């Protein structure tokens, strides 16, 4: 998929997008269909379709997802109550957007993983 066809590549180019955090590697938006009181998406700026495209060169990006997750959890006030990060990968996970991203969910008791 060309990045121009990819919603998560287009959002950071959109001056009206509601981007709540951005650095040189990742950006963060609120999920359009939140599944928890806090539901953020932490998204690499680089178009990476899935884990098959992660190599040594992407380690700083992957690390930044986790650094920013904790920072966003702090800003959202859920570091003590807890939160969950999820990265869907492929059809059985329900991955809908083929641009790697991390979900951050919190703000209430989350269901057990199924
Ligand atoms: P996936 O199922 O691929 O792991 O998650 C994709 C997520 O992106 C879904 O939770 C969906 O609600 C969210 N999403 C899809 N399109 C948009 C959009 O245009 N804006 C925002 N904020 N979230 C989106
Ligand atoms: Zn993309």
Return d(Cα 42, Cα 40) in angstroms, integer.
6
Q: What is the pLDDT of residue 109?
A: 97
Atom index in ligand 1 nearest the CA of residue 35 equals 10
- Dist CA 35 CA 86 (whole Å): 12
Q: Ligand 2: distance of its center to the CA of 75 in Å?
A: 26
Residue 38 lies in a domain: yes
Give the model confidence (pLDDT) of 14-29 as tens digits.
999 999 999 999 999 9
User: Does 1 map to a domain?
Assistant: no
Residue 89 sits in a domain whose CATH number is: 3.30.428.10
The residues annotated with a catalytic role in the active site are 101
Ligand with the closest atom to the CA of 91: 1
Task: Kindly tell me if the per-residue pLDDT of 2 is higher than 80.
Answer: no
Find the 26 Cα to ligand 2 centroid distance in Å. Answer: 12
How many domains, in total, are found in the chain?
A: 1
Interval 95-113: pLDDT, tens:
999 999 999 999 999 999 8
- 48-64 as b/e, with b when 16 or more CB fall inside 10 Å? beeeeeeeeebeebbeb
**Does some domain include residue 113?**
no
Cα distances from 37 to residues 33, 40, 107, 108, in angstroms, run: 11, 10, 5, 7
Predicted confidence at residue 111, as pLDDT, reads 94
In a domain, 112, yes or no: no
| Residue range(s) defining the domain that contains residue 83 | 7-106
pLDDT band at 7 (very low <50, low <70, confident <90, very high): very high
Q: Is residue 68 part of a domain?
A: yes
């Amino acid at each position: 998929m060309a990045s121009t066809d990819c919603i998560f590549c287009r959002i950071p180019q959109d001056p009206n997008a509601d981007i709540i955090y951005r650095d040189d590697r990742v950006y963060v938006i609120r999920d359009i269909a939140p599944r928890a009181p806090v539901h953020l998406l932490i998204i690499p700026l680089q178009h990476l379709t899935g884990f098959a495209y992660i190599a040594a060169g992407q380690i700083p990006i992957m690390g930044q997802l986790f650094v920013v997750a904790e920072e966003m959890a702090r800003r959202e006030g859920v570091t003590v109550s807890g939160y969950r990060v999820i990265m869907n990968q492929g059809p059985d996970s329900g991955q809908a957007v083929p641009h790697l991203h991390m979900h951050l969910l919190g703000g209430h008791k989350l269901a057990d993983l199924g």
